[in-house]
Structure 1
Amino acid sequence: MHLFETLKQRVTTIAQGEGLSVGLDRIAVETPRDPTHGDLATNAAMVLAKPAKRNPRELGEIIAARLVEDPLVAGASVAGPGFVNITIAPEAGAKVVKAALDGAAFTRLAETDAPQKVNVEYVSANPTGPLHVGHARGAVVGDALANVLALRGHAVTREYYINDAGSQVDALARSAFLRYREALGETIEIPSGLYPGDYLVPVGEALAREHGEALRDMAEEAWLPIVREVSIAAMMAAVREDLDVLQIRHEVFFSERSLQVPTDIVAATIQRLEGEGLIYQGVLPRPKGQADDWEDREQTLFRSTQYGDDIDRALKKSDGSYTYFASDIAYHDDKIQRGFDRLIDVLGADHGGYVKRMTAAVAALSHEKVQLDCLLCQLVKLYRAGEPVKMSKRAGDFVTLRDVVDEVGADPVRFMMLYRKSDAPLDFDFAKVTEQSRDNPVFYVQYAHARCASAKRQAVEALGADVLDDLSEAAAEQLVDAGEKALIILLAQWPQVLAAAADSAEPHRVAFYLHELASALHTQWNRGKDDTALRFVNAEARDLTRARLALVEAVQAVLRTGLSALGVSAPSEMR
C-alpha cells in the first residue's frame, strides 16, 4: 500500500462528494514539520476553498469528519488556516509494514504512469589523463540518478561523450610522442601546455614497441594521427578501469569526432536550423567588462535568445571552424533523433554558462518537445584529518579518482558524493569517511542495515528459526509505540521519496532519506537499551516480537533497496 497516495485519493473523493472540482490536482498529503501535529497532513481545504468561495477551516472540518470514518484513520483535526492533520490507525501502519516487507514490490509503487526514454550523460571527461576526484562526483551522481530513474520505470541509457576532437587531443598526442622518444632513450622535457603526468609513460613505451624508431623519423603531420589514436584508446581504457572501481559502466560511448568524420553532421545540423530561420549573420554586443575574447566581427549566430538564453551564440570561430557549442548542438540533436524524451547532462561546476545555451538549443532542435536537465557538480575538496590532501604524483597536478577509492573504498566515495546536493561544494575527509561513528553517514546507514540483521539473528537464538516464518502474517497492528510509528511513517515515504528524486533529478534525496530512516532505527534500538519493553526481541512476548521483526525486516528491505540505488553495499555485519 502507498499510504500517501491512498489517503490523497480518499481526500479527493471526499472533495468530489462536496461538489469540488477545481484544484484537485494540487491536493497533497505529506508529513507535518512538527510530528506532534499528527502523522500526516493535507492542504486540501486550503487549495480547494478559494476557487469554490468557501471557508477553508469549515471545509477542513468536513474533510476531517469524513476522514475519521476511514479505517486507516484514527483521528483528524483542523489546524491553522485549514491544514487537516491526520493520525493513522494501527491497521494503516500494519498495511505499510506488510507492503514494505517485499522491498522490490514496495519500490514499484514509485513507478510512473508515463514512462519516458531518458538519456543520462555523465563523466564525459576529456580523454587526456586519469579521472580526478571531481569526475568521481559527476560519475556517482549520474550513475545513481540513472538507477533512480530506472526504478521510477523509465527506460534509461547511460552515455559517455568522448571529447576526441580538437586541440586538447592533439596536445595529448604530442605529450605521448615525447614519452615515446623517452622510451627510445632520449632525455625529454615536457613544455608548458602539454601533459606532464607519468600516466603517459606506458603509452610511449607501447608506441616504441610497436613502431620502433619509425615514428621519430616522420613529420608531425604523419605521426600525429597515429599517436593520437593510440593515446585516446589508452586513455579511454584507463577511464573505463577507473570507473569500474566504482562499479560504473556506460552503455554508450559517443565519439565527438564521429560528428564530422566521415560525414559532417555538425554542418548538416546547422544547415537545418538555418532553414528554420534560427541561424543568422550578425555582430554580438560587447559583454560587460569588455571581455578580452570578444570579437567585433560579423559571425554565424544561433538565435538562442528566442528560447530563453541571455544572448545569441556564435557557431563558428574566426578561422571558419565550428565552435564547441556547434558540435554540442549536433550531438544533442543526435540524442533527439535517437528518440529520447528527456536528456540529462551531468556537468562540472565550470559549465554553468553552458546551461542556458544548451537548453535553448534542445528546445529549438526538438520544437520544445524534449526536456533537458543540466546538473552542475561543484568541486570536491580533499582533507585528511582536517588537513588538505596533496596532489597526486602520478597525475602531475591533481588527485585521481583511483587514489581516493584505493584508500577508502567505493562505498564511502559513492555515498558521500551523494550526501550533498550536487551543486553544493563538498569537503571529503579521508579520516571521517572511514571512522565507525554516527558522524560518518555511510557507516551510520550501513550499520542500521547490519543491526536489522543482528536483531533477526538474536530472535532466532531466543525463539527459534520459525520466529521469522512468514512475517507478513505477523500482527503488526501491535506496533503502536511512538518510535515504531515514526519508523512506519518513514517507511511509507519511500515510494514518494524515490519518485521525487527521479522527477527532480536529485539522487541526494535518497541518501538523505536513508540516513533519516537509519537514525530512526538506531533511536528505537537505543530506547530498547533503556526500556526492555521496547526491545525488538522479547522472549516473553513472541507475537509482539514477530510484529517488531516484521518492522525490522521492512526497514532492512528499504535500506537495502535504497543503498543499491546509490550503488552502495548493504552489509549484514560491520567489521
Structure 2
Amino acid sequence: MDVVAELRGCLARALSGMAARGLLERGPELSRLAVEPSRDAARADLVTNAALAFGPAWTGPGAGQGTRRLAEALAGEIAREPGVADVAVAGAGFLNVTLATRRLAEAAAGVLAGDPVPTLARPGAVVDVTVAAPGPGPRGPANLDHLRAVVVGDALGRLLAGTGHGVAVRCAGDRPWDRHGLPWLGVALPWASVAAHQPAGEAAAARIEVRPGYAGRVSEAAGTIVVPVARCRLAANTGVPASADGFDADAVDALRFALLCRERSSGLDFDPAAARDRSHAGPLFDVGYAHARAVRTLRGVAGPEADRPSWRDALSRPGLVGDRDRDLLRPVALFPHAVGRAVAEHEPQRLAGLLRDLAAAVHRQWNRSKDQPQLRFVNEEQRDLTKARQGLMMASAIVLKSGLRLFGIAAPDEMR
C-alpha cells in the first residue's frame, strides 16, 4: 500500500475521532489535509499540515493555542501506529513523521509481489492531451519553449496511459522539430505510441492543454485543464545540433528525460550536451546505470522470478534490514505516491526526481558495500540477510524499470 495514503488515513481517523469527542468544533474537511514526503530525509520521511489546517477548530484544553495543541495531540495518536517510529512537532505546527524501518521494508516487499504502478483511472476514463502552438515570440533553433511543452505533454500522456487511462496526445500546428529546425527530435516521434491507447469511438472525459512559454499554476477554463510550461532557453556556451546525425533513440530519450527533471513551472537553461553526457552528470545515464548495477547484483541467482517469494519473506522479517538500508527503502516505498502525484498535479518531474534519488541511493550503497563487508549484497554466513539484500536490490530495479517505462524509456541491464 502507498505509505503516504496510509498515514493520511491514520490522520483522517484521528481527526474524525477528535471531532466526535468534541475536541474540534466541526468535522474535518479532509480535502485540506496534505501529507507529502519530506524534502530532508535525515529529519523525517513524511510531513503533514494537519495541525495547521484544523488548529483553528480546536476546542480542547489550551484553545488559545489551537494549532500547537492539536499538533501535540495528533503526534501522540500517530506515534502509537505500528508503522510509525517517531513524530515531532516542527515550526508553526507541521508534523514530521519518521516511518518504522520495518514498515518501509514491508512496502519494498510489496513491490516484489507485482507491478508497483498504481491504477488510477476510473473504468472507461479517456483523457485528451493537446500541446498548444507556441505564443508570440522569437522563432528558430534557440527557442525551445515548444520542444519542452511537447516533452511534458508526451510524459503526461504516457503517465496517464500507464496508470489505466485511455489517452490521445496531439500537437497543435505543424511538427515542432520542423518549426524550430530541430530534425533530430524526429528520430523518436514522442506521442506516436501514446495515441494508440485511446479506445476507439470513445469521447474524452477530460481535456488537458499544455501551453508552452508560460509560468503559473494549473488552471481550468471552459472544461479544459490548462497546464503551463515555463520558458526554455539554451544554457550559455551551448548550441543545438542542426542535423539528426549521431542522434539515435537513446540520445533523444536522454534529452527528453533531462527536460523532465526540472519543475515545469520554472524556467530552464537547457544544455543538450550535458543531458546526453555518459557519466553520472547525465540524468538518464545515472538512472540507467543504477538499474544495471542493481541487476548485476542478482547475476548468478538461479531464478530471480522463482526467488521473489523468499525475498519478500526475508524483507518482511523484522531485523534483517535496518537503518543502514533506509537510503534505498525510502524511495522504493514512496514510488506509488510519486506516480500518483505526478498524474494528479500534472508534474512529471515528481517521478523523475524520485528515480534520480533512488539511483543515487543505489550508487551509494554499491560504493559503501565495497568498503564495509556488513553491507555487501551476498553474505555467505548469513543467508537470510543475503536474501533480504537481494530482494531490496530487486525491488529497486523494478521501481527504476517501471518508472522509466512510464516515460517510454527502456532500462538497460548493462552499460555499453
- TM-score bracket, shorter-length normalisation: 0.7 to 0.9
The residue that corresponds to 2:74 in the other structure is 63
* Separation (CA, whole Å) in 2 of partners of 1:251 and 1:439: 29
Q: How does 1:189-200 map to 2 (within 5 A)?
A: none
CA-atom RMSD, angstroms?
Answer: 3.8
- Which residue does 1:539 correspond to in 2? 380
Q: How far apart, CA to CA, are the structure 2 residues paired with 1:76 and 1:379?
A: 41
Q: Provide the C-alpha distance between the structure 2 equivalents of 1:252 and 1:32, rounded to a whole number of angstroms.
A: 36
239, 253, 266: which is aligned to 1:389?
239
Q: Structure 1 stretch 20-29 or stretch 508-517: which is displaced more?
A: 20-29
> For the Cα contact (< 8 Å) 1:405–1:413, is it kept in 2?
no
1:472 Cα shift? 2.0
Unaligned runs of 5+ in 1: 165-171, 173-194, 198-237, 254-337, 364-369, 393-398
| TM-score, L = length of structure 2 | 0.79
8 Å CA contact 1:115, 1:153 repeated in 2: no
Aligned to 1:473: 313
The 8 Å contact of residues 85 and 99 in structure 2, kept in 1 or not, is answered as yes
Q: CA deviation at 1:347?
A: 4.2
CA contact (8 A) 2:15 2:28 kept: no
Secondary structure, counterpart of 2:297 in structure 1:
helix
Cα distance change, pair 51–116 in 1 and its aligned pair in 2 (3 A)? farther
User: What SS class does the counterpart of residue 420 from structure 1 fall into?
Assistant: coil
Q: Counterpart in 1 of 2:360? A: 519
1:340 alignment partner in structure 2: 204
Matched, 1:108 2:118: yes
Cα drift, residue 474 of structure 1: 2.0
Q: Could you tell me which residue of structure 1 aligns to residue 224 of structure 2?
A: 371
Change over 3 Å in CA distance of 1:139–1:250 after alignment to 2 = farther
Residue identity opposite 2:284 in structure 1 = V
CA distance in 2, matches of 1:143, 1:433: 18
The TM-score, its normalising length taken from structure 1, stands at 0.59
What's the CA shift for 1:411?
2.4
Deviations 1:486-536, CA, capped at 9 Å, x for gaps: 322222222222222222222222222211111122112222122110122
The whole-number CA distance in structure 2 between the counterparts of 1:41 and 1:387 is 40
Structure 2: state its 5+ residue gaps: 135-139, 197-201
Partner of 1:506 in structure 2?
347
Distance 1:518 1:485, change over 3 A: same
Q: Secondary structure at the match of 2:167?
A: strand
Matched, 1:549 2:390: yes
> For the residues of structure 2 that align with 1:12 and 1:494, how far apart are their CA atoms?
22
The equivalent of 2:148 in structure 1 is 137
Alignment correspondent of 1:425: 268
Q: How far off its partner does 1:41 sit?
A: 3.3
5 Å-filtered alignment, 1:198-213, equals none
8 Å CA contact retained: 2:315, 2:321: no
- Offset of residue 26 of structure 1: 2.1
Report the 3-state secondary structure (helix = DSSP H, G, I; strand = E; otherwise coil) of the residue aligned with 1:526.
helix
Larger helix fraction of residues: 1
Taking the aligned partners of 2:271 and 2:190, their CA distance within structure 1 comes to 20
Residues 372 and 67 (structure 1), Cα distance of their counterparts in 2 relative to 1, 3 Å cut? closer
Answer yes or no: is the 8 Å Cα contact 1:475–1:543 preserved in 2: no
Residue matched to 1:96: 107
Quote the offset at 1:24 in angstroms: 3.0
- 1:92 CA drift (Å): 1.2
In structure 2, the CA distance between the partners of 1:442 and 1:88, relative to structure 1 (3 Å rule), is same
Q: Measure the CA separation in 2 of the matches of 1:542 and 1:494.
A: 28
Q: Which amino acid aligns with 1:13?
A: R
Identical pairs, percent: 31
* Larger-Rg structure: 1
- Structure 1 residues 427 and 132 mapped into 2: Cα distance closer, same or farther (>3 Å)? closer
CA distance in 2, matches of 1:469, 1:149: 28
Identify the range of structure 1 (445-454 vs 24-33) with the bigger mean alpha-carbon deviation: 24-33
Q: Secondary structure at the match of 1:107?
A: coil
Aligned match of 1:530: 371
Residue 163 of structure 1: how far off its partner (Å): 5.5
Contact 1:122 1:160 in 2 (8 A): yes
State how many pairs are aligned.
387
Letter in 2 for 1:58: R
Equivalent residue, structure 2, for 1:37: 43
When residues 389 and 59 of structure 1 are mapped into structure 2, their CA distance, relative to the original with a 3 A threshold, is: closer
SS of the residue corresponding to residue 69 of structure 1 reads coil
Q: CA deviation at 1:451?
A: 0.8
Kept in 1: contact 2:157–2:194 (CA 8 A)? no
Q: Distance in 2 between matches of 1:133 and 1:112?
A: 35
1:151-162 matched pairs, under 5 angstroms: 151-162=162-173
Alignment of 1:67-466 (within 5 A): 67-102=78-113, 104=115, 106-108=116-118, 111=120, 116-122=125-131, 134=144, 136-162=147-173, 243=186, 245-246=188-189, 248-249=191-192, 339-349=203-213, 352=214, 363=222, 370-376=223-229, 378-381=231-234, 387-389=237-239, 399-400=242-243, 402-403=244-245, 405-406=247-248, 409-422=251-264, 424-430=267-273, 432-457=274-299, 460=301, 465=303
Q: Please give the per-residue CA displacement for 1:437-467, whole angstroms capped at 9, x wherever unaligned.
A: 2211111100111111011116x3xxx5589
**Corresponding letter in the other structure for 2:204:** F
Q: Does 1:564 align with 2:398?
A: no
In structure 1, how many angstroms separate the alpha carbons of the residues matched to 2:79 and 2:131? 49
Q: Is the 8 A contact 1:49 1:59 kept in 2?
A: yes
Change (3 A) 1:492 1:413: same
How much does 1:124 deviate?
A: 6.2
Check the 8 A contact 1:103/1:558 in 2, yes or no: no
Provide closer, same or farther for how the CA distance between residues 57 and 570 of structure 1 changes in structure 2, counting only shifts above 3 A: same
- Structure 2 distance, partners of 1:136, 1:406, is 17
The letter of the residue matching 1:249 is A
Q: Displacement of 1:18 after TM fit?
A: 1.4
Q: Cα offset for 1:51?
A: 1.8
